[in-house]
């Protein structure tokens, strides 16, 4: 059986790992701005979206492994990931509020954007494997009322780019070129390859 630590709160990533038969335990990093963030996810100046997503994923994996070492827990591979949406070279992270979600969806509607998903695996040998998946997504034109109704469902609030392809926003997607699971947040082909390199059997 393949068993790892997953440094992510995302229910989508948990679902995708179960899909390929990977058993995991969750390692939670702090994401509450009131208590202090474990990782600053602010993009750096002149940082490409791919470099940004990979830097965040690598930092999550390294920090989670460090926490596990301090707690003297059994060492297993640690998987971390980061997903961002890119349009016209701009990074669209999680919306700050409903108004921000509306703004993002208006910018993405009726055109193509990219979804960048980076993954990092920190192995028991303290080596890090990494990969980046880039997919193109075309959303159909959306009316203001459609966007407002969708944002009102609450689905966009914790999603990069303010939409979930596996949720209600699936009705907005005309076409994709790339990895569906990567757009969800965890590209399975690349994940399986990295976990195999770390010594696991997947699937």
| Residues acting as catalytic residues | 82
Question: Distance between CA 201 and CA 117 in Å, rounded?
Answer: 22
CA distances from 74 to 22, 32, 132, 194, 203 (A): 17, 27, 28, 20, 22
Q: How far is CA 155 from CA 4, 29, 66, 77, 148, in A?
A: 28, 22, 32, 31, 12
Kindly state the tokens that stand for 54. 């990979």
Asked if 56 and 49 count as a contact pair (C-beta separation under 8 A), the reply is no
Beta strands in 88-144 (DSSP E): 90-92, 112-122, 128-139
Q: Compute the distance between CA of residue 173 and CA of residue 158 in angstroms, rounded to an integer.
A: 19
In angstroms, rounded to a whole number, what is the distance separating the alpha carbons of residues 47 and 37? 21
- Tell me how far apart the alpha carbons of residues 104 and 176 are, in angstroms, rounded to a whole number: 19
């Amino acid at each position: 059986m393949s068993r790892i630590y997953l440094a992510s709160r995302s229910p989508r990533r948990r679902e995708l790992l179960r899909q390929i038969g990977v058993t995991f335990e969750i390692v939670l990093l702090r994401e509450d701005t009131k208590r202090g963030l474990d990782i600053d996810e602010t993009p750096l100046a002149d940082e490409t979206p791919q470099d940004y997503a990979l830097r965040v994923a690598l930092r999550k994996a390294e920090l989670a492994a460090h926490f596990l070492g301090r707690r003297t827990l059994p060492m297993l591979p640690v998987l971390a990931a980061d997903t961002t949406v890119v349009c016209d070279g701009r990074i669209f992270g999680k919306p700050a509020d409903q108004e921000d979600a509306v703004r993002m969806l208006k910018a993405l509607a009726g055109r193509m954007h990219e979804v960048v998903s980076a993954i990092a695996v920190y192995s028991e040998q303290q080596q890090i494997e990494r990969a980046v998946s880039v997919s193109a997504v075309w959303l159909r034109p959306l009316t203001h009322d459609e966007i407002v109704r969708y944002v009102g469902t609450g689905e966009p609030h914790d999603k990069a780019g303010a939409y979930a392809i596996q949720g209600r926003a699936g009705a907005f997607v005309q076409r994709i070129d790339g990895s569906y699971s990567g757009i969800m947040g965890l590209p399975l082909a690349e994940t399986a390859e990295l976990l195999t390199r770390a010594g696991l059997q997947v699937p």
